[in-house]
Amino acid sequence: MLAVTALPYVYARASTPSNLVYTGLMFDVPDHAQYWSWITASHDSVFISNTMTPEDNAAIFANPPMWALAQAQAIFGLSFPVLFQWWRVVAIGLLVPALVAFVGAMLPEHERRTTALVIALLGSTPIGGPLVGWVSEEFGPRWGFALGGIATIVGVLAFGTAFVRARRRDASVEMTVVPDELVLGIDGESIPASIR
């Protein structure tokens, strides 16, 4: 998971022209600018104003994770790109075990549990985000939105088809283990074994 999510950052760092400085901000992830502003503002106070809106607002916004990151940045003297990468490692280290435990509790079947984890961990942002960002950058935002929409439709159809097939397979397995006395006829009444 760490390797897959690191690829966009490695590419961005490697492709930065020599006359520019890589800041760690990705063109397809506008949240990074917001995180950066919150971390910068949180150096001085627990309560900050939201600088990502055009109107003036009071310093009543508190974001404990951003405050903790601001303190870590100040203590260790980290740049934002380095701080963000350490934050990514810690967040993934906490997210993956929590997600595995949650999915394991909700889906006891191994096949469904594995599918849910693959979709949750790799299905959207780590792969789709950079791809849609690149398409938007190269061909325009309409093509990026179109790709995102097409991928969503294909995903829904693929997983819907897999779900229906799994339900049919489960239903056929259940029917083979039902005792003869419980098999119901079309009208809802039990069919005696002697008539079948």
Q: Position 43: which residue type?
A: H
For residue 55, the SS3 value is: coil
Where exactly are the structural domains of the chain? 2-107
The region of weakest confidence among 48-62, 74-88, 107-121 is 107-121
pTM of the model: 0.53
Mean pLDDT, the chain, rounded, equals 76
Distance CA 24, CA 196 (A): 71
Q: Kindly state the percentage of the chain with pLDDT values over 90.
A: 8
How distant is the alpha carbon of residue 47 from its chain centre? 28
The DSSP symbol for 130 reads H
- In terms of pLDDT, which residue wins out, 91 or 190? 91
Smallest CA-to-CA distance from 4 within 158, 138, 118, 112 is with 118
